[in-house]
Amino acid sequence: MDAKLILNGSEYEFPVIVGTENEVGIDFTKLRSRTGAIGLDPGFGNTGSCTSSITFIDGEKGILRYRGYPIEEVAESASFEEVCFLLIFGHLPTPKELFAFRDQLTHHSMIHESLKNFFEDFPPTAHPMMILSAMVASLSAFYPRSVEPREVDLNIVRLLAKAKTIAAFSFKRSIGQPFVYPRNDLSYTENFLHMLFAVPAEPYIVSPVVDRALNLLLILHADHEQNCSTATVRVVGSSQANLFASVSAGISALWGPLHGGANQRVIEMLEQIRDDGMDYRKYVNLAKDKDSSFRLMGFGHRVYKNFDPRATILKKAADEMLAELGIDDPLLEIAKHLEEVALEDEYFLERKLYPNVDFYSGILYRAMGLPTDMFTVMFALGRLPGWIAQWKESREDPAARISRPRQIYLGEALRPFEPLDLRAKSPEGVPTEPELVGV
């Protein structure tokens, strides 16, 4: 099957690629060399940057699969370590492989004491996403051979194992408590919870309810094909930058409120609605008002034009977790009511704006006892295996090239450069103080 293009009276044919689930892509790799034209698609809403075998999303049907496994089944039965292994190495681990992988993750959880000292120089108000991005990039200083292929698998383990320690240390730093070192007798999630919440004064027992919720949250965030931060990791990795540098860039991209930063903004929005007398209709109308910058955070998605399956799972998990912990969080009811009011409104229905993964996740993070500025860090920890898997897949692709988009130039046409004549005495009105003018 080919696609035909008629441009300036000439007809061109381009090959068509059909994916496993019958998605259709027009292969434009020769478009410019054959036609002189480029495709223009700001935001890449209609542009595929790669082929991939890791994750499949059908936005119209609300389908998400990791290596072919439905998210609902993976979320119900897998451990986060299994999902990491599946996404990164392409198959579910055998029991032997899983034990070996877990053992590696456990024994690489410590960070170099010099790296630990970096925390001392961040201001206490430093956002934990900034710290996570900086510290992950800094890992390449401690593993200088991180660009050598045979080091990649070891660096993958180092990154997965140490990122949770870095995240826990940044939380402890922000609340002025001493760091809690990782323990080798705990699972990945138990170890993380222990580093987050243990205090020297008393033993900390990991709640199975909280541990189960954390495992679910990390799995649901693990990968999501070519989202903004994953595309960033691939672009940075395409220059042959090392894994740590590439993922550090992904962390920064995730931080934005339109992406992973939304989970923090959702809670802040729900608190604003609570403090403003629960006037749901007011905020739904504000979200519709083009003159207002207010958006319903946690709503809408570039791909899902139906329910985000992760939001459906998290809404149910939030109910269960709060009931099991005996927590009555009014923000959960406010979120549910806001969802109801929005989904009765034509504006949201005709634009197919539904709750996304960020709409309910913050309720569970709050129930765990985390502050809102740690929420996006939790998203990043979940997304780590996805970033790593996508980076590895692109680096193992023999046809991969450096990412370098083109543009259509709309600026000034050719004009001569006329240097300033500074020899004349300073004319009246020239500012004597160096002022920023014309910006």
Task: Name the residues that contact ligand SDX, by CB under 6 A.
Answer: 43, 224, 227, 258-260, 262, 287, 295-303, 351, 353, 356-358
136's CB contacts (< 8 A; 6+ apart) are 159, 163, 166, 244, 247, 248, 251
Q: Which residue of the set 358, 373, 397, 421 is catalytic?
A: 358
Strand-pairing partners, residue 243, are none
Distance (Å, rounded) from C-alpha 168 to C-alpha 395? 30
Nearer to ligand SDX, 138 or 256 (CB): 256
Starting at the edge strand that comes first in sequence, how are the strands of the sheet with 69-70 ordered? 55-58, 63-66, 69-70
Q: Smaller CB distance to ligand SDX: residue 111 or 381?
A: 381
> What is the CB neighbour count within 10 angstroms for residue 174?
19
Alpha-carbon span 389 to 400, nearest angstrom: 15
> Left if phi > 0, otherwise alpha if psi is -120 to 50, otherwise beta: which for 298?
left
Q: How far is the CB of 265 from ligand SDX (least distance, A)?
A: 7
Q: Min. distance of Cβ 160 from ligand SDX in angstroms?
A: 18
For the bound state, the minimum distance from the C-beta of residue 99 to ligand SDX, rounded and expressed in Å, comes to 30
For the question of residue 41 being annotated catalytic, the response is no
Give the Cβ contact number of residue 215 at 10 Å.
20
Pick 70 or 207: Cβ nearer ligand SDX? 70
DSSP classification of residue 199: B
Q: For ligand SDX, which residue has the nearest CB?
A: 300
Least distance in Å: CB of 403 to ligand SDX?
17
Give 104's strand partners.
none
- How far apart (Å, rounded) are the C-alpha atoms in residues 439 and 436? 7
As measured in angstroms, the least distance from the Cβ of 384 to ligand SDX is 13
Quick one: which of 62, 77, 19, 87 has its CA closest to 311? 62
Q: How far is the CB of 45 from ligand SDX (least distance, A)?
A: 7
358 is catalytic: yes
DSSP 12: E
Return the number of the residue (270 or 357) whose C-beta is nearest ligand SDX: 357
Q: Give me the phi and psi of 7, to 5 degrees please.
A: -140, 125
**Active-site residue (options: 194, 224, 301, 308):** 301
Contact 165, 157 (CB under 8 A): no
Give the dihedral sign, CA 368/369/372/374. negative
Our CB check for ligand SDX shows the closer of 296 and 317 to be 296
Closest approach, Cβ 208 to ligand SDX, in A, equals 27
CB nearer to ligand SDX: pick between 53 and 292: 292
Distances (CA, A) of 129 to 15, 35, 218, 356: 42, 44, 16, 21
Q: Which is nearer to ligand SDX, 107 or 351 (CB)?
A: 351
Three-state DSSP state, 25: strand
Instruction: Confirm if 301 and 308 have CB atoms less than 8 A apart.
Output: yes
| Residues taking part in catalysis | 301, 358
